């Protein structure tokens, strides 16, 4: 492995710019290549981030022998094809959330990584931010006793402008909707705390473009634990998560990008921790990838592939309950 871990960026859109900002601040990382479906867009991104190799298609990026690991940042339907393209070219992959659109895609992607013995991880960045590490410590230490209930909501108000209505979030052709875009953070949090649910109940409002604009999900677990989740793309909600246990609770304001959390143990003073990001929060998932690669690991213990699959299966069940299917996505390659 090279001295610095050498990154390629695939799909230089909105989130790729933020991730590149984070990577530029990590001494052990170097962005060496970017791939776009259009060379001018690759050039613009490369110029902005001082990247030497720019490619006008994704296959060239995947074949670039300078690259150790590719960050896949296309819209959801194309994660699987782009990630497999890179794995088959011998690259490690950090794949944006949601891991894939459905179970079939997730199983194929995981099978490819395992057959090829290449590293693969879902970019569920909120798992790696320092406040969430502290929350896991509190849970492991039994600070709130047995965690039994959880609530989490994530809703953003996206204007119903003609431009947005034609964009990724509202388009069935790009697997738009609240669940896959931001509801996945609530499902992933519940998975981190309770594991795989055994009971799933949900409701959604499907808007005029044919995607879920708001949704509520109840997850039940064998031990009697319950998670109460909601998400929306047409209104801002509180973005709060609370984990309730037999001895207290954990409150995580702005949980998807948390920089503080409060431990509230019965009969004790609340303990609030505040841990600001070093850059913008996306650096911690990159550091996890780098550490895994340095340790020759094929997956992360914090965001393992079987758990990414379980999260996708839960969301498949939810969408089946709504009768929400997407049209064929076509090929991105």
Contacts of ligand NAP in 135-194 (CB under 6 A):
168, 181
At closest approach, how far in Å is the CB of 20 from ligand NAP? 11
User: CB under 6 A: which stretch of 37-45, 130-138, 246-254, 269-277 binds ligand NAP?
Assistant: 37-45
Smallest distance, Å, CB 126 to ligand NAP? Answer: 8
* Contact between residue 82 and residue 112 where contact means Cβ atoms under 8 Å apart: no
CB of 122 to ligand NAP, least distance (A): 10
By CB under 6 A, residue 328 contacts ligand NAP: no
Q: Of 17, 51, 13, which Cα lies nearest the Cα of 34?
A: 51
Instruction: Tell me whether residue 204 is exposed, middle or buried, using C-beta atoms within 10 angstroms of its C-beta: 0 to 12, 13 to 18, 19 or more.
Output: buried
CB of 281 to ligand NAP, least distance (A): 8
Write the interaction track for ligand NAP spanning residues 64-103; mark x where CB under 6 A is met and - where it is not: ---------xxxx-x-----------------xx------
Return the number of the residue (71 or 244) whose C-beta is nearest ligand NAP.
71
Q: Which stretches of the chain are assigned E, i.e. beta strand?
A: 5-10, 29-35, 53-55, 69-72, 92-96, 120-123, 147-155, 199-206, 212-220, 226-232, 241-245, 248-252, 260-265, 271-274
* Residues paired with 304 in a beta bridge: none
Q: How far is the CB of 254 from ligand NAP (least distance, A)?
A: 13
- Residue located via tokens 């819209």: 75
The residue whose Cβ lies closest to ligand NAP is 13
Segment lying near ligand NAP (by CB under 6 A), choices 6-14, 187-195, 240-248, 300-308? 6-14
For ligand NAP, give the closer residue by CB, 154 or 244.
Answer: 154
Length of the chain: 333
Report how far apart, in Å, the C-alpha atoms of 78 and of each of 62, 85, 96, 180, 254 are.
15, 11, 10, 13, 28
Candidate list 14, 162, 224, 276; residue touching ligand NAP; CB under 6 A: 14
Q: Could you tell me which residues are beta bridge partners of residue 157?
A: 234
Q: How is residue 274 annotated by DSSP?
A: E
Window of 9-17, 129-137, 186-194, 226-234 that interacts with ligand NAP by CB under 6 A: 9-17
Q: Compute the least distance from the CB of residue 143 to ligand NAP, in Å.
A: 28
**Span near ligand NAP by CB under 6 A; candidates 33-41, 208-216, 260-268, 318-326:** 33-41
| Helix axes of 184-194 and 130-140: crossing angle, nearest 10 degrees | 30
| Residue 296 DSSP symbol | T
Among 37, 116, 247, 251, binds ligand NAP (CB under 6 A): 37
Q: Which of 9, 36, 176, 315 binds ligand NAP (CB under 6 A)?
A: 36
Phi then psi for residue 134, to 5 deg, are: -65, -40
Tokens of 72: 């896949």
Question: What residue ranges bind ligand NAP (CB under 6 A)?
Answer: 11-16, 36-38, 41, 73-76, 78, 96-97, 123, 125, 168, 181, 332
């Amino acid at each position: 492995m090279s001295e610095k871990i050498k990154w390629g960026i695939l799909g230089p859109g909105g989130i790729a710019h933020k991730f590149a900002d984070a990577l530029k601040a990590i001494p052990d990382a170097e962005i060496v290549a970017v791939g776009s479906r259009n060379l001018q867009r690759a050039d613009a991104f490369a110029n902005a981030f001082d990247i030497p190799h720019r490619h006008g298609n994704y296959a060239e990026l995947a074949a670039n022998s300078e690259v150790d690991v590719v960050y896949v940042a296309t819209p959801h339907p194309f994660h699987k094809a782009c990630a497999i393209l890179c794995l088959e070219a011998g690259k490690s992959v950090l794949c944006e959330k949601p891991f894939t659109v459905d179970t079939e895609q997730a199983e194929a992607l995981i099978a490819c990584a395992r057959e090829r013995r290449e590293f693969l991880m879902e970019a569920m960045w909120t798992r790696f931010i320092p406040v969430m590490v502290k929350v896991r410590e509190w849970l492991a230490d039994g600070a709130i006793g047995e965690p039994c209930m959880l609530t989490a909501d994530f809703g953003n108000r996206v204007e119903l402008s003609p431009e947005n209505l034609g964009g990724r979030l509202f388009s069935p052709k790009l697997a738009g909707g609240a669940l896959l875009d931001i509801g996945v953070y609530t499902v992933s949090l519940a998975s981190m705390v309770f594991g795989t649910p055994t009971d799933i109940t949900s409701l959604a409002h499907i808007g005029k473009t044919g995607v879920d604009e708001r949704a509520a999900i109840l997850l039940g677990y064998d031990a009697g634990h319950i998670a109460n989740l909601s998400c929306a793309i047409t209104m801002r909600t509180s973005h709060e998560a609370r984990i309730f246990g037999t001895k207290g609770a954990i409150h995580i304001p702005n949980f998807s990008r948390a920089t503080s959390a409060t431990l509230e143990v019965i009969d004790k003073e609340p303990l609030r921790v505040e841990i600001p990001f070093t850059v913008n929060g996306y650096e911690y998932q990159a550091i996890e990838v780098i550490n895994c690669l340095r340790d020759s690991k094929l997956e992360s213990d914090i965001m393992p592939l079987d758990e990414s699959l379980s999260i996708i299966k839960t969301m498949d069940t939810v969408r089946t309950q709504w009768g929400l299917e997407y049209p064929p996505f076509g090929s991105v390659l």
